Structure 1
Amino acid sequence: MKNDKKPRRYKIINISLIALIVITWIVVYGITGLPGAYAWFALKLVFPFLGLAGILLNLTLLIILFFNKKKINNTLIGLLVCTILTLHLVLTMNIAQLPYPSRIQQVQPSVTVNWPLAEQTVVGWGGDSIHSNLPHAIWPSERWAYDLVMEPYNTGSTNLEDYGIWSKEVLSPTSGTIIAAYDNEPDIVPGTEDIHSMEGNHVYLQLEETGTYLLLNHLKQDSVTVKVGDHVNTGDVLGRVGNSGSTSEPHLHIHHQRQNPIKALHPILAEGLPLYFKSTDTDPMPVKGTVVNITAPPD
């Protein structure tokens, strides 16, 4: 009886892992909101490493079973299942550049706000597609995020002053309440990896219109002009553009999400929401490379 229980146990484990893979993919494509975000997190950041551990375990078992002249069928199946888990590394490493599967037409609420800068701006990354928004579209919370720069940019210089957007005022895109305001983090040298956090100095705003949240990251040290609890109106100065956090050069990151970012377990475990802009000379959702000019003052 003991010899029968082990193969049965291995079979149950293998079937359970296969079911877990299938269900997780179904949740990602079939359920919006936090369940989909958590499932995507598992696919990209849990499954590959679980699979690698399983491969090592099954290879060890294969060697033991081989020298003991015992059946290896279930162990081979386990090795195959763990290999399938590990193949999710193509998502983790962006070898397979797959956007988080959230359809813009089906996600609500979207918001349309004013442009957060007063001067001509270039969209470094933005839009709905993986081509125009690669660093963001692969994550649930940043599905429709933007990185904004100004000429000159992408210069390769290590001097912050050589970048056009450095120290430009960041304006509140809409009215709302400040839920987070932080500017103690030093700005890093462009092109380095001396980061202290992912978001760097930041201001987070809860919108009056929808109760959802705007996140503005990578601000300049000691530049934030608001504090938690402040009510701001469209066009109010929030701070200045810096180079703090996970950033290769000075730029402003902005995105819209449903969940309160200061209560989330992890920054990517949130549901990103569409973000559109008005009073500019471009499409409401400008894409990478778009030059944006303001056509009307804040309303």
Structure 2
Amino acid sequence: MTAMAGGFSGGGLTLDLPFTGAWLTQNSPARRVPSHGTDLLGERYAIDFVGVDTDRRTGGRTSWGTLAGTEPAERFYSFGRPILAPCPGVVVDRLDGEPDHEARRSPLALVPYLLGQRARLQQGIAAVAGNFVILEVVPSRVYVALVHLKQSSLLVGIGERVRAGQPLAECGNSGNSSQPHVHVQAMDSRDLSVARGIPIAFRNFSEQPTRRSAWTVREIGIPGEGAVVTPGIFPDSNH
């Protein structure tokens, strides 16, 4: 992919990571495309990030729900973390009324939840995306969506121009989300129902592919599946 730093070229879009701290990469287009197994809703090159602690854990204390049921979204490190604008742009759409539901990390709870994805899609975009912000990358007419945001946390309104790094909302567990995380995608339309995905890459981040790996600084790239990433230079990075 040939992506123009700070904007769009024929190959895709280069973004900043939309957060601070350490996050685990899931459903990365570095592993497969479509990254989420579908081209619907502009998801072809989408990527997910889940907040973690220094031991790569996504959530705090465990209970019976960890093994066989659901858990409060507040138990997970992502929940409530600030989500930042990954590029300059204009807010062209937003939704902030969907509830944050219980989280699931138990395989016993995940299976029936995954089987219900088709039904949620039939309910409409809100049931899948939850709360979201869509930015237009002016003047390219490319759009960036940040999805599964926390209810009542959005800080920006439609028509507002934002700068890269500006707080937009907080990470939540709304929509089709098994545990709190932020879903990021670029697309050719502001309308999720007809949008087609556009390739994305990220700039200036540190990446640790596995727990035992050294941290490496990447000037531009797509985080690998299962890698932990943090913006900028991690103190133990090789550079």
Q: TM-score, normalised by structure 1?
A: 0.57
Query: Number of matched residues?
Result: 186
Say whether 1:108 aligns with 2:29. no
Q: Could you say which residue in structure 2 is the equivalent of 1:254?
A: 184
Larger strand fraction of residues: 2
Deviation at 1:233, TM superposition (A): 0.3
Whole-Å separation in 2 of the counterparts to 1:272 and 1:287: 19
Question: Which sections of structure 1, spanning at least 5 residues, go unmatched?
Answer: 1-103
Does the aligned pair in 2 maintain the 1:175–1:232 contact within 8 Å? yes
Deviation at 1:292, TM superposition (A): 0.5
Whole-Å separation in 2 of the counterparts to 1:183 and 1:138: 25
Deviation at 1:129, TM superposition (A): 3.4
The structure 2 residue matched to 1:161, chosen from 61, 74, 84, is: 74
Q: Could you say which residue in structure 1 is the equivalent of 2:198?
A: 273
Q: Which has the higher contact order (CA 8 A, sep 6+)?
A: 2
Say whether 1:238 aligns with 2:134. no
Does the aligned pair in 2 maintain the 1:225–1:237 contact within 8 Å? yes
Alpha carbons of structure 1 residues 134 and 163: separation in structure 2 relative to 1, 3 Å = farther
Larger helix fraction of residues: 1
Whole-Å separation in 2 of the counterparts to 1:180 and 1:163: 27
Whole-Å separation in 2 of the counterparts to 1:189 and 1:228: 29
SS at 2:36 equivalent: helix
Letter in 1 for 2:145: L
Question: Which sections of structure 2, spanning at least 5 residues, go unmatched?
Answer: 3-8, 121-125, 208-217, 234-239
Instruction: Note the aligned Cα RMSD (angstroms).
Output: 2.5
Does the aligned pair in 2 maintain the 1:206–1:213 contact within 8 Å? yes
Whole-Å separation in 2 of the counterparts to 1:211 and 1:109: 14
Q: Could you say which residue in structure 1 is the equivalent of 2:45?
A: 144
Deviation at 1:293, TM superposition (A): 1.6
Q: Could you say which residue in structure 2 is the equivalent of 1:295?
A: 232
Deviation at 1:109, TM superposition (A): 4.3
Whole-Å separation in 2 of the counterparts to 1:260 and 1:293: 28
Q: Could you say which residue in structure 1 is the equivalent of 2:97?
A: 184
Q: Could you say which residue in structure 1 is the equivalent of 2:87?
A: 174
Matches within 5 A, 1:1-299: 108-130=10-32, 136-139=36-39, 141-151=42-52, 152-153=57-58, 156=66, 158-191=71-104, 193=113, 197-208=127-138, 210-261=140-191, 266=193, 269-282=194-207, 283=218, 284-295=221-232
Does the aligned pair in 2 maintain the 1:186–1:221 contact within 8 Å? yes
Structure with the greater alpha carbon radius of gyration:
1
Does the aligned pair in 2 maintain the 1:128–1:144 contact within 8 Å? no
